[in-house]
Amino acid sequence: MPSEDRPISDAFSDSLGPAPVEPKATVMVVDDEAAVRRVLVMRLQLAGYRVICAEDGEEALSLFRQEQPDLVVLDVMLPKLDGFAVCRRLRAESCVPIIFLSALDAIAERVSGLDLGADDYLPKPFSPKELEARIATILRRVGRGSASAEPREVPSGSGVLRVGDLVVDTNRRQVTRDSERIGLTYTEFSLLELLFREPGRVVPRAEILEQLWGYPPRRAADLRVVDVYVARLRGKLEPDPRNPELILTVRGTGYASQRMAEASLAANG
């Protein structure tokens, strides 16, 4: 147990090995607490990331536009412009992954952040090691360069999934209806792909959480993350989200995609 008079960097430093010569990705940390910024800079740099920092919402927006980081760690309680407002503005111009940090662990706060388009939400106090794991999971899923508003090209090979009037291009991670593109975040698209990989199969909420966010549910609020994303996906894809036809709820278990005769998987050729 570290003594109270040890420097904060010593108290949180584990043996993570030397940082690589080339940074794995750029992470922007936005927090008005200097101690939190110091800890996260030290930990994330040791893990191999390039780290940039902002201490209020306005500085965060300015720095984001200058640096185009690969992921944003964003505190909710910020001076000048709070984290929710920052997230809203970032989502208007970018699909960069966002992880919220907040001393407010109420489910309503968590849901509000996810509704705005955040990818994850970690309540304070938190383990820096857990934050590192969540950052690694998200970046492994979406890759680098996600600050761009346009989805990036990915290697072909998975084909095109047709469900009713929807065309899901798994090569470009794009969804269209009547040739008009439907804007999905990386997490939303990954959820869609998971549910429609095996039409009709019930996918438990815990499995969705582990596959998309990389950690098992530890409390009820963790599974609520899945419900929020399903609701967002329905809002973008379903003609009537209150009476869904594509993504069905299996009460007490999880979700299933509608098994439809016209659903087919055709390889690009």
Banded model confidence at residue 45, pLDDT cuts 50, 70, 90: very high
Q: Residue 30: which residues within 8 A CB-CB, separation 6 or more?
A: 53, 54, 55, 57, 59, 60, 72, 73, 74, 75, 78, 83, 86
Count of C-beta atoms within a 10 Å radius of residue 88: 13
Indicate the average pLDDT of the chain. 78
| Strand (E) or helix (H) holding 169 | strand 166-169
CA separation for the pair 115, 111 (Å, rounded): 6
Inform me whether the pLDDT recorded for 203 exceeds 90. Answer: yes
Banded model confidence at residue 57, pLDDT cuts 50, 70, 90: very high
Q: Which residue has the tokens 């966002």?
A: 98
- Beta pairing partners, 254: 204, 250
Whether the link from the prior residue into 155 is cis, omega within 30° of 0, is no
Banded model confidence at residue 64, pLDDT cuts 50, 70, 90: very high
| Strand (E) or helix (H) holding 181 | strand 180-182
Find out whether 10 and 34 touch, Cβ atoms under 8 Å: no
pLDDT digits 0-9 by tens, 116-163: 778 888 888 888 888 998 899 888 877 665 555 443 333 333 477 777
Find out whether 57 and 74 touch, Cβ atoms under 8 Å: no
C-alpha distances in angstroms, 265 versus 53, 68, 245, 256?
Answer: 44, 35, 19, 17
pLDDT of residue 153: 38
pLDDT of residue 8: 37
CA separation for the pair 166, 89 (Å, rounded): 28
